[in-house]
Structure 1
Amino acid sequence: MRYRLNYLWRVFATGLSFTTFGLGGLFLSIFVFPFIKLMNPDPQVRKRKARYLIHRSWNFFINFMESLGIFTFHLEEARQQLEGVEGKVIIANHPSLIDVVALISLIPRADCVVKQGLWNNFFLKRVVRVADFINNDQDVNKLIENCKRSLEEGYNLVIFPEGTRTVPNRPIKLQRGAANIAVRCQQNLLPVIIDCNPTTLTKQEKWYQIPPRRAQFSMRVVEEIDVSPFIHNEKNESIAARRLTEEIKKVFTEELAKNESDRK
């Protein structure tokens, strides 16, 4: 009976969290961001304040989910590792729906390459537009130009090379977008390994299909990937990006295997 009540509570709490997140985004869009825009005519100041507000709001949301008993978050190690980081391309694996929220909750100066779908999402479209996040649905040269400008301004560019959430128990499949950005911006990659055990909120699951117990969610930063050997040793940027993508996959695969080994 106790287990059943706990399970039902976590289903309810998960639904409550989704509702809170959506309504929170709508509240910011209708009441807070217009005020920021009104009080800050300078677009750079407006962007900086909007991004910091998102960082703080998502940090609150992570704590909210933990207080409801849905997740136990182990983020202090990653928080310390990311403290003071500026102008970095931060890449991460993508096991769950909340990865981007958890990661940006640790990074005050975060930019993000986001899918076109979010720009049309009823609850979040105004959030990503006021924050001036980078839309991935644009000409590649324009995309690279926007990424380079963001890095030069000191923002950390958050990218998920898989492009979508990982399919559990299957090999990682990466797109070349992150590698192309790193090569063409000549910027090293800072990998973040995300672990969620048991898996939850994956691509194949509905929000109410929760695991039998509370999920343990953790992050850690691993050694930076130097892109200069890939740039200098290959004939062109396309080949360099392909080789770098292979290196990213190798790093992710090895580090995730370590996580699995540590659990046994």
Structure 2
Amino acid sequence: MLFTYFFLGSMFLTVLLIFFVIPFPVKKAKKQQFMNYMISKLAKSTLYAGFQFRKTILNPERLDYSKPSIVIANHTSFLDILAVLMLHPKTIIMVKSWVYNSPVFGPFIRYAGYIFVEKGTETNIELVRRQFEKGYSLVVFPEGTRSQDGEIHRFHKGAFVLSKQLNVPIQPVLLVGLHEINPKNDVMIHGGHLRDKRIFDTGVHYIGGLDRGENLYKIFGYLNVLDDLKLVRMNEVFDIIRMPNGKEFRQGQGYEAFMKFLLEDFPEESEAIRAFVQKIREVCTYFPLYNIRLEGERTYVSHPEILAVGAWDFVSGLTQNKELIAALLGNGILYAGDRKRTPLYVVALILNSYIKGSYRLADGGAQLAKALVKQIRNCGGELFKRKEVTGGTKSADGKLVSVTCSDGTVYEASSFISNLHPSKTMEIVGTEHFMPAT
């Protein structure tokens, strides 16, 4: 019944498009917006026509899908597509060729501006950019295909590349239960419970430096949030770098374990591995605040040359083994690593933290935000939700004195702190408020 309903609804939209929408004398952008609205309504009505399973939507983090973003979701069933299309009418999907060229729903999704994944990342970047400029969000299933067993599998990097290059946020959706309702290669609809939980961490993957006595442990203790966090220490192998050829390289907690696993995988590269570890530990000593100190014998201020060392240049100077380079720098996606631009000190500070105590936040990273909010309010602070800063005002001497939000609200202060990417912050308030790096 469910698929029959969807088939008939799709045929209706195709007829509506060809005979009414396309000939209608208004701008194409308006007609595309109308078709996306109709697609969203068809998706929702199809799922809610499935009386044999329950539906639950949870959004405890109050994620807002009305603004352009890249939405990533796990993929276990054909019904996943319908579930994510319910998020907002201005949502499009990156789809495979069989969907894009389907005689049933291909015509209206092509007209609505869906992205054909086989066109490649470079071509798609410009297509996606134009859709973001129109106010649309893009849904990507980063696993690339439906999971056969219902488990979440390795993500491809395409969604994260798009997010970085287009400077748009990633918003997560976790779909639970659809594998039992309609598993891959099954045309039957079974009873079950669809839960669109929307708790799928992409920002707080896992946290480093949380072993007792390490830097983040001390900071969280000072902020008085440790007791409010459900922290679970990662396994001895805190991360695995998986290669396209199927090989896996382990990263271990503690420098002894970190080196042990690398030496087991690359016994002939002992000299390069030891030199890398030594340099990582040395670089970290140049950053006093990172080590919870105000000053140090040598710092990046007195030795600015430490900031100029490129991560890729340094590692490729130690070894020509491409797999070892990948094992050392392969988790760069966690910090938006870039072969041409990422300095070694960024790799050193982040990797050292992970090696010295990697933990995950059970039940999702939202608890950290809630714990910090609690302490801010305990100290008399006030928080304003859903405020998007769009500009700033400076005084006669060039100092930033106020910021303006999208709703017209103006906030004045003596100091401003931004947790956006520096390039985004400068884009909003102007580069004139910042000193050059050199």
TM-score (norm 1): 0.73
Instruction: Measure, in 2, the Cα distance between the counterparts of 1:171 and 1:196.
Output: 13
* Structure 1 or 2: more helix by fraction: 1
Contact map agreement 1:134 1:146 (CA 8 A) in 2? yes
Instruction: Measure, in 1, the Cα distance between the counterparts of 2:150 and 2:111.
Output: 37
Partner of 2:148: 167
Secondary structure of 1:48 counterpart: helix
Contact map agreement 1:33 1:50 (CA 8 A) in 2? no
Instruction: Measure, in 1, the Cα distance between the counterparts of 2:178 and 2:77.
Output: 10
Instruction: Measure, in 2, the Cα distance between the counterparts of 1:72 and 1:193.
Output: 16
Amino acid at match of 1:207: V
Amino acid at match of 1:230: Y
Once the two structures are TM-superposed, the CA of residue 33 in structure 1 deviates from its matched residue by 5.0
Instruction: Measure, in 2, the Cα distance between the counterparts of 1:228 and 1:182.
Output: 11
Secondary structure of 1:225 counterpart: coil
Q: How many residues align?
A: 220
Secondary structure of 1:91 counterpart: strand
| Structure 1 unaligned blocks of 5 or more | 1-15, 238-242, 244-253, 260-264
In percent, how many aligned pairs have the same letter?
22
* CA deviation string 1:44-89 (max 9, x = no partner): 1111111011111211112111xx32x21102x3499355631111
Partner of 1:220: 197
* CA deviation string 1:174-208 (max 9, x = no partner): 222212211221222111111017723222x4213
Once the two structures are TM-superposed, the CA of residue 167 in structure 1 deviates from its matched residue by 2.4
Alignment of 1:27-46 (within 5 A): 27-32=12-17, 34-46=19-31
Contact map agreement 2:150 2:179 (CA 8 A) in 1? no
Alignment of 1:111-150 (within 5 A): 111-150=92-131
Partner of 1:5: none
Partner of 1:49: 34
Contact map agreement 2:74 2:175 (CA 8 A) in 1? yes
Once the two structures are TM-superposed, the CA of residue 104 in structure 1 deviates from its matched residue by 0.7
Once the two structures are TM-superposed, the CA of residue 113 in structure 1 deviates from its matched residue by 0.8
Partner of 1:176: 157
Secondary structure of 2:54 counterpart: strand
Q: CA 1:62–1:170 in 2, change beyond 3 Å: closer, same or farther?
A: closer
TM-score (norm 2): 0.45
Q: Which has the larger radius of gyration?
A: 2
Q: CA 1:173–1:43 in 2, change beyond 3 Å: closer, same or farther?
A: same
Contact map agreement 2:92 2:114 (CA 8 A) in 1? yes
Partner of 1:23: 8
Alignment of 1:243-262 (within 5 A): none
Secondary structure of 1:117 counterpart: helix
Contact map agreement 1:104 1:110 (CA 8 A) in 2? yes
Q: CA RMSD, aligned part only?
A: 3.1
Contact map agreement 2:76 2:178 (CA 8 A) in 1? no
* CA deviation string 1:103-132 (max 9, x = no partner): 111212101111111122121111211212
Instruction: Measure, in 2, the Cα distance between the counterparts of 1:80 and 1:47.
Output: 30
Amino acid at match of 1:49: F
Instruction: Measure, in 2, the Cα distance between the counterparts of 1:87 and 1:171.
Output: 25
Partner of 1:101: 82
Instruction: Measure, in 2, the Cα distance between the counterparts of 1:182 and 1:145.
Output: 13
| Structure 2 unaligned blocks of 5 or more | 205-331, 342-346, 348-359, 365-438
Using CA pairs below 8 Å that are at least 6 residues apart, which structure has the higher relative contact order? 1
Amino acid at match of 2:338: E
Amino acid at match of 1:73: K
Secondary structure of 2:119 counterpart: coil
Once the two structures are TM-superposed, the CA of residue 170 in structure 1 deviates from its matched residue by 5.2
